[in-house]
Structure 1
Amino acid sequence: MATGYEDVQKILKENIDAAMKSADLLSKSLQTIATEATDYSKKSAEETTKHFEKLMGVKSVEAAIELQTEFVKKSYEGAVSQATKMTELYVDLSKDLAKPYEGVFAKIGK
């Protein structure tokens, strides 16, 4: 028969294990998020540079307006898409961080 001390020791070990798993998941998820943000920033900077190079070669105001309109539209759609992707990554992160604790909380509720 387990004593109260052994029960507490077991619960503490389970909590520490859950915290370690959660910390590992946090680290991996934040790395994924940082990589995604960096990749998007690089891509955006490259597209902006290319756009300004094209814009410098335009011969008329109408062509410049058309080019700028297309660029703004494409940039906006890209930003919305990236925001959606980042939101999904953060939602996944919050779900993953809770998983190691599900078993611990289930035992406490009993």
Structure 2
Amino acid sequence: MMQNFEDVQKLGKDNMELAVKSFGTVSKGVQAIAVEVADYSKKSFEEGTAVAEKLFGAKTIDKAVEIQSTYFKSAYESYVAQATKIGELYADLAKEAYKPYEGVLGKLPAVK
């Protein structure tokens, strides 16, 4: 009886350690993603403001269209690059959060 209680107690402690480790990993990953999003937002806003100033200074419609077209192309490329980077951060976060559980899940008996 005492042996079973100690086993359950050890299992509970091990599971708590895994959960804390996983939570720490998730916390760091989410923080990194938040920093990336904030940096991108700031950069995007600054670039948009600079383009607006250029547009107000444009002397002809052709120049305004050129400025706007260049900005849209640049903004789209920047967005795609950022979306790819954020996607990679999420994928890394999922992998890292799962790592503590790999050993435990590998010990479980196979379901037939």
TM-score of the alignment, normalized to the shorter chain, above 0.5: yes
Hey, which bits of structure 1, 4+ residues long, moved more than 6 A? none
Q: Is the 8 A contact 1:18 1:100 kept in 2?
A: yes
Q: Cα RMSD (Å) of the superposition?
A: 1.5
Q: Is 1:12 aligned to 2:42, yes or no?
A: no
Q: Kindly provide the CA deviation profile for residues 37-60 of structure 1, in whole angstroms up to 9, marking residues without a partner as x.
A: 000000000000000011111110
- Cα displacement (A) at 1:4: 2.5
- Which runs of no fewer than 5 residues in structure 1 stay unpaired? none
Q: Is the 8 A contact 1:15 1:104 kept in 2?
A: no
The number of residues matched between the two structures is: 109
SS of 1:3 mapped into structure 2: helix
- Larger RCO (CA under 8 A, 6+ residues apart): 1
For residue 86 of structure 1, what is the amino acid of its counterpart? I
Q: Is the 8 A contact 1:15 1:101 kept in 2?
A: no
- Looking at structure 2, the residues matched to 67 and 99 of structure 1 have their Cα atoms a distance apart, in angstroms, of 48
Provide TM-score, normalisation by structure 1.
Answer: 0.92
**Share of identical aligned residues, percent?**
50
